[in-house]
Amino acid sequence: DQQVKQNSPSLSVQEGRISILNCDYTNSMFDYFLWYKKYPAEGPTFLISISSIKDKNEDGRFTVFLNKSAKHLSLHIVPSQPGDSAVYFCAASAEKSSGDKLTFGTGTRLAVRP
């Protein structure tokens, strides 16, 4: 039962263009969403998060959009840089029921071409 889904296993983007990574969830109890970036042989690094009371959060080149009615969120990276090449994980938690434990998607591997 995959409660958080990232349906695109990989994405290739030209340097300078926008990267859009998508994530869908099924559990309506989720109220906090995060994006993590992961390089090989390293731990996930926190990128950006959004609470369910918002529909957008921006931090520099990274913007996360949340569409609660569609149970969908996306991460926009603009402009994309070669150093952004990594695996990106979407994660979600439910404050009231699970002590902030995270449910992760399976990841999207982003390749930014110079």
Partner 1 sequence: NAGVMQNPRHLVRRRGQEARLRCSPMKGHSHVYWYRQLPEEGLKFMVYLQKENIIDESGMPKERFSAEFPKEGPSILRIQQVVRGDSAAYFCASKTSLMNTEAFFGQGTRLTVV
Q: How far is CA 69 from CA 13, 26, 72, 108, in A?
A: 29, 11, 8, 23
Q: Do the Cβ atoms of 74 and 21 come closer than 8 Å? A: yes
Smallest distance, partner 1 to C-beta of residue 98, A:
7
CA dist 77 and 18 (Å) reads: 6
Binding residues for partner 1, rule CB under 8 A, total 27
CA distance 18 to 47: 16
What is the footprint of partner 1 within residues 19-58 (CB under 8 A)?
31-32, 34, 36, 41-46, 49, 51
For residue 20, the minimal CB distance to partner 1 (Å) is: 19
Q: Which residues lie across from 89 on neighbouring strands?
A: 36
Q: For residue 1, state whether it binds partner 1 (rule: CB under 8 A).
A: no
Residue 52 carries which DSSP code? T
Select from 17-25, 65-73, 75-83, 91-99 the region that touches partner 1 (CB under 8 A): 91-99
- Residue 5 structure tokens: 């889904």
Task: Give the residues lining the site for partner 1 (CB under 8 A).
Answer: 4, 6, 31-32, 34, 36, 41-46, 49, 51, 89, 93, 95, 98-107
